Structure 1
Amino acid sequence: MFGLLATVVVFLIVTLLRRRTGRTENVDGLLIEQQRRIRARNDRTSYSSAAVHHSQLNGTDPPRH
């Protein structure tokens, strides 16, 4: 039982170490990665706790009591 567990652990470690870093080599891929990073940063800013809890009501939302 311990041998099987050790084999699985070694297999997972080897698999993770052999993985590529996932970086893109061509210009199109780099531009896509840049756009996604910018979108993620903007989303983190727009949907942060402070932004959500301190936003103005737009007039159509019912007031919260």
Structure 2
Amino acid sequence: MIELGILFGLLLMTVLALIFVLLRRRSGKTENADGLLIEQARRIQAQNDRVTYGPGSKNSMPTMRDPYRP
């Protein structure tokens, strides 16, 4: 019974530590917009890839970006 108390105590301490870290991390402000610019570039690249390699592009001619050309 003591072992279960120790186990649950350690789990509770771990959960509280994770909650503390997450709450402290969210209160920080972003000093620059580098992360937003990187995210925007990745989103545009993903959109271009969906158009190039999507299911609607199977019946079209291959482009220069296609890795396989029959």
> Scaled by the length of structure 1, what TM-score is found?
0.53
Tell me which residue corresponds to 2:63: 58
In the TM superposition, structure 1's runs of 4+ consecutive aligned residues that sit over 3 Å from their partners are: 22-25
Classify the secondary structure of the residue corresponding to 2:26: coil
Distance in 2, matches of 1:46 and 1:23, equals 33
> Structure 1, unaligned stretches of length 5 or more?
none
> Structure 2, unaligned stretches of length 5 or more?
none
Higher RCO (CA < 8 A, seq sep 6+): 2
Bigger mean CA offset, 53-62 vs 14-23: 53-62
Count of residues in Structure 1 that have an aligned counterpart in Structure 2: 59
Larger radius of gyration: 2
